[in-house]
Amino acid sequence: MLLPFFYTLRALKVPVGTSEWLALMQGLCHNLADSSLDHFYYLARAILVKSEALFDAYDQAFLICFKKREGEFNIKKEIEEWLARQVDPALRPKIPEIDPLTLEELQRQFHERLKEQMEEHHGGNRWIGTGGTSPFGHSGAHPSGIRIGGPGGGRMAVKVAEERRFYNYRHDRVLDTRQFKVALKRLRKLDHEGMPLELNLDKTIKQTCKNAGDIDLVFDPPQKNQTELILLMDVGGTMDPYAELVESLFSAAHASSHFKDFRHYYFHNCVYSKVYSDMYRREAVLTAELFRKFRNSYRVILVGDACMHPYELFFPGGAIDYWETEPHSGLEWLQMIRTHFSSIAWLNPEPERFWDHPTISAIKKIVSMYPLTVEGLANAVDHLRRA
């Protein structure tokens, strides 16, 4: 009965293996789940899932396999759809001064409405819907009530799974500065590379003692921070919706103390003959200057949506700023950057499913592109390390 659950988990890319599965069976033999689905939910999760990033996938698998088996009342599908509507919090009405309903009364009325209600209602004080002062639905206001849709509700396993509370912990979603920092930290692995050049005194003493007093010198590779990073960020225009996201990536990189050198510049749409050292693009730096100043050991991360008019990418003088008169197209500049700095990656905040845009495809051919998510950044960092 449980094996389909195992394979559903695997199908949803939760890496469970035989040994974990056997451990779960062992747990079940100890009667840890207490023959209850709720306990089974936590038992199986603790043993099978090893990262909060995978909790959401686990919840999904759990729903697929066990939802049918719970005898809870089913809310009509269409009612769920009516309630999918988002309501602006500002439009939320004030709580009216009426007496709260008792739980029994509330449940009685709710079942009544479920039977009677035939169409969508938003606002108003009686039916299930969003807003208004009816006790049923969400984003409304009533001193008591049943919220339908969104998180909340009891703590039964299927309910917990349904809430999908861990959606935000998924690694293919974008999160906060701290997680970016963790991802960037992977660049630090580079630090221990190189020739063994430094005398390690502790190890030498130890080795010598083990060697019965014959001196045995131990050398280690230098442990200096060797990572140098240039961050080039697209600002303005279509990037505005992602400003906060780019900000958190920047602050993560900026606050990371494990770079030997960290530089950042801004551009608009694509890198042309100039980049800018400030967000408002007032202080220009020649792109050619970057090539002179920074050795090719610098790693480069470009951040941008790579979405622009094809003219802006493929034609010389395509720069959107009219005073740019350019002998090279944006694409050519990217090629030059790519040639100088061999280890280079592009992070795109645009979700991957929109990447069939002509300029994105063209840029992708030159610079490896990754989505600007925690997982994407980690992959980009791995790519930088390999290059």
Alpha helices in the chain (DSSP H): 3-11, 18-29, 37-48, 55-66, 77-83, 103-116, 157-163, 177-185, 201-210, 243-255, 287-293, 310-314, 330-340, 358-366, 374-386
Question: Among the candidate windows 11-19, 118-126, 280-288, 316-324, which touches other proteins by CB under 8 A?
Answer: 11-19
Please identify which residue in 169, 291, 314, 315 interacts with other proteins, judged by CB under 8 A.
169
> How many residues line the site for other proteins (CB under 8 A)?
34
- 89 binding other proteins? (CB under 8 A): no
Task: Classify residue 128 by burial, with Cβ atoms within 10 Å: 0-12, 13-18, 19+.
Answer: buried
- 30 binding other proteins? (CB under 8 A): yes
Question: What is the rounded (10 degree) CA torsion for 314, 332, 349, 293?
Answer: -150
CA distance 126 to 110: 10
Please identify which residue in 67, 111, 189, 224 interacts with other proteins, judged by CB under 8 A.
189
Site of tokens 């900000």: 247
- 115 binding other proteins? (CB under 8 A): no
- 47 binding other proteins? (CB under 8 A): yes
Please identify which residue in 165, 224, 309, 365 interacts with other proteins, judged by CB under 8 A.
165
Question: Among the candidate windows 38-46, 91-99, 131-139, 345-353, which touches other proteins by CB under 8 A?
Answer: 38-46
- 159 binding other proteins? (CB under 8 A): no
Work out how close the CB of 179 gets to other proteins at its nearest, in angstroms, rounded to a whole number.
8
CA distance 35 to 58: 20
Please identify which residue in 109, 204, 225, 251 interacts with other proteins, judged by CB under 8 A.
251
Work out how close the CB of 374 gets to other proteins at its nearest, in angstroms, rounded to a whole number.
11
Contact present, 3 and 24 (Cβ < 8 Å): no
- 386 binding other proteins? (CB under 8 A): no
Question: Among the candidate windows 103-111, 175-183, 291-299, 326-334, which touches other proteins by CB under 8 A?
Answer: 175-183
- 61 binding other proteins? (CB under 8 A): no
Nearer to other proteins among residue 15 and residue 310 (C-beta): 15
Q: How many CA atoms lie within 13 A of 207 on its CB side?
A: 11
CA distance 238 to 131: 33
Work out how close the CB of 177 gets to other proteins at its nearest, in angstroms, rounded to a whole number.
6
Nearer to other proteins among residue 55 and residue 242 (C-beta): 55
DSSP one-letter string for 274-299: EEESSTTS-SEEEHHHHHHHS-TTSE
Contact present, 297 and 260 (Cβ < 8 Å): no
Amino acid at 147: R
- 10 binding other proteins? (CB under 8 A): no
- 213 binding other proteins? (CB under 8 A): yes
CA distance 239 to 244: 10
Please identify which residue in 27, 194, 222, 236 interacts with other proteins, judged by CB under 8 A.
27
Work out how close the CB of 293 gets to other proteins at its nearest, in angstroms, rounded to a whole number.
29
Tell me the CA end-to-end span of the chain in Å, nearest whole number: 48
Contact present, 136 and 113 (Cβ < 8 Å): yes
- 235 binding other proteins? (CB under 8 A): no
Contact present, 251 and 243 (Cβ < 8 Å): no
- 13 binding other proteins? (CB under 8 A): no
Work out how close the CB of 266 gets to other proteins at its nearest, in angstroms, rounded to a whole number.
20
Identify the bridge partners of residue 233 per DSSP, sorted by sequence position.
266, 303
Nearer to other proteins among residue 19 and residue 325 (C-beta): 19
Cα 142 to Cα 61, 70, 80, 148, 359, distances in angstroms:
35, 29, 20, 14, 51
- Judged by the rule CB under 8 A, the positions of this chain that interact with other proteins are 15, 17, 19-20, 23, 26-27, 30, 32, 39, 42-43, 46-47, 49-52, 55, 155, 165, 169, 177-178, 182, 185, 189, 205-206, 209-210, 213, 244, 251
